Amino acid sequence: MFLLVFPENVLIIIISLCNKEKTMKYDYIVVGSGLYGAIFAHEAKAKGKSVLVVDKRPNIAGNVYTEKQEGINVHMYGAHIFHTNDKRVWNYITQFAEFNRFTNSPVANYKGELYSMPFNMYTFNKMWGVVTPDEAAAKIEEQRKAAGITNPKNLEEQAISLVGTDIYEKLADERRIQTNNSILKTAQDMYNSVMNLL
């Protein structure tokens, strides 16, 4: 497998040159050396195909690229956690790399109160003092009714239906979201990101 790094416009010229001069022939040209492109190229190569992988970034691996800094693998495009409950996927991916065990347990700081994120029973307990999922569901239902929501008509109403007004206002309202993740640039990005967690 070859990796060439070119800006987008140069790539088009390269492809035209390949066609014109007929000097380089590949069964496949893969644009992007991220997980998808790399795995496709690997599997195609294993089946005897020739593959040219091009990428506009100066590195392979796409978003999951890391650089070693002072002995630590730093995720250059944002932290990544790999999770799967599929043994076949796990066996496949671990042939390429060693993984560290990691439990993702972020905490939100709302005016000095710490809440577990994404929302779970610890969040509900801290917020309302409830202990069981049924009690949490009853509280959410109570807040949904109080907000007058029957069929959610927008993202905010959907969020309140799922987690209640308190959690929505304290932890998910776009005006209050803060993140250090440089990839999420706009408030809308952050809002979408958090809403996906609900």
Judged by the rule CB under 6 A, the positions of this chain that interact with ligand FAD are: 8, 11, 31-37, 54-57, 62-64, 77-78, 80-82, 181, 183
Smallest gap from Cβ 55 to ligand FAD, in A, equals 4
Smallest gap from Cβ 41 to ligand FAD, in A, equals 11
Smallest gap from Cβ 14 to ligand FAD, in A, equals 11
In the bound state with ligand FAD, the residue whose beta carbon lies nearer, of 6 and 122, is 6
Beta bridge partners of 75: 66
In the bound state with ligand FAD, the residue whose beta carbon lies nearer, of 56 and 170, is 56
Q: Exposed/middle/buried for 37, CB within 10 Å: 0-12, 13-18, 19+?
A: buried
In the bound state with ligand FAD, the residue whose beta carbon lies nearer, of 35 and 155, is 35
In the bound state with ligand FAD, the residue whose beta carbon lies nearer, of 77 and 149, is 77
d(CA 91, CA 123): 34
Nearest to 92 by CA among 131, 39, 56: 39
Exposure string of 68-89, with b = 16+ CB inside 10 Å and e = fewer, is eeeeeeeeebeeeeeeeeeeee
**Are the C-beta atoms of residues 198 and 172 closer than 8 Å to each other?**
yes
- Residues in CB range of 177: below 8 A, 6 or more apart: 187, 190, 191, 194
In the bound state with ligand FAD, the residue whose beta carbon lies nearer, of 94 and 132, is 94
Smallest gap from Cβ 5 to ligand FAD, in A, equals 8
The residue type found at 104 is N
Smallest gap from Cβ 162 to ligand FAD, in A, equals 22
In the bound state with ligand FAD, the residue whose beta carbon lies nearer, of 32 and 118, is 32
Smallest gap from Cβ 98 to ligand FAD, in A, equals 17
Nearest to 62 by CA among 87, 92, 30, 86: 30
